[in-house]
């Protein structure tokens, strides 16, 4: 596995709509493994392929599975983590309830913002071997998926945030 450089603004790949993945070959498996390693190294809780300069519909997400809104960040961090690899993801169902939360992005260092997201979603897509999969996620996990799927459509959280602010880059935060 290899760490891949994370592209940052104003790289145009971040504004492009990513192409669907059609070939589930060895190169794709290498890309997926590299993305997982790059996400963990950053450290981040999600990464979309355009963030490593590949304009294809592929995301990786890793966060504690049982997300509980009552948890402090420390409590959530201590829970077992679940890794998702999702190819050609589509949100097929979304809750009526929306929630505002703080987001950051590995491709936009030093900026945070308040973003409104669906509290719960169902996502349909393919696993790393091209097999269909459908998952239900809520809370922080749902937020991470929505942030990463936005990346595949060339949408950055700074464009949909209700409020943005700068924060020191040495502060550890959940980066997406």
Residue identified by tokens 């498996």 is 29
The residue nearest Zn ion at its CB is: 105
C-alpha span between 143 and 31 (Å, rounded): 24
Taking the complex as a whole, the smallest distance from the CB of residue 175 to Zn ion amounts, in Å, to 7
Residues that bind Zn ion (CB under 5 A): 105, 176
Determine whether 148 is an active site residue: yes
Angle, vertex CA 91, rays to CA 44 and CA 49, nearest 5: 40
Neighbours of 162 (CB within 10 A): 9
Taking the complex as a whole, the smallest distance from the CB of residue 76 to Zn ion amounts, in Å, to 19
Q: Which CB, 58 or 105, lies closer to Zn ion?
A: 105
Q: Which CB, 20 or 109, lies closer to Zn ion?
A: 109
Residue 132 CB contacts under 8 Å (≥ 6 apart), including other chains: 124, 125, 126
Q: Which CB, 21 or 108, lies closer to Zn ion?
A: 108
Taking the complex as a whole, the smallest distance from the CB of residue 26 to Zn ion amounts, in Å, to 27
Of the chain, the end-to-end C-alpha distance in Å amounts to: 21
Q: Which CB, 49 or 105, lies closer to Zn ion?
A: 105
C-alpha span between 87 and 74 (Å, rounded): 30
| Catalytic residue (one of 148, 159, 173, 175) | 148
Q: What is the dihedral of CA 45, 57, 160, 52, to 10 degrees?
A: 60
Q: Which residues are catalytic?
A: 148
């Amino acid at each position: 596995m290899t760490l891949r450089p994370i592209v940052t603004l104003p790289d145009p790949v971040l504004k492009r709509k990513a192409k669907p993945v059609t070939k589930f070959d060895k190169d794709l498996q290498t890309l997926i493994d590299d993305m997982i390693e790059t996400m963990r190294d950053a450290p981040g809780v999600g990464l979309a392929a355009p963030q490593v300069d590949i304009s294809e519909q592929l995301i990786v997400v890793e966060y504690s599975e049982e997300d509980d809104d009552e948890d402090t960040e420390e409590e959530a961090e201590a829970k077992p983590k679940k890794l998702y690899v999702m190819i050609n993801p589509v949100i097929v169902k979304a809750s009526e309830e929306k929630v505002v939360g703080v987001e950051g992005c590995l491709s936009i260092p030093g900026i945070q913002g308040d973003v409104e997201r669906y509290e719960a979603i169902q996502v349909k897509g393919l696993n790393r071997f091209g097999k269909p999969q459908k998952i239900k996620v809520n809370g922080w996990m749902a937020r991470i998926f929505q942030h990463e799927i936005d990346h595949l459509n060339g949408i950055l959280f700074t464009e949909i945030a209700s409020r943005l602010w700068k924060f020191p880059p040495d502060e550890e935060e959940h980066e997406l």
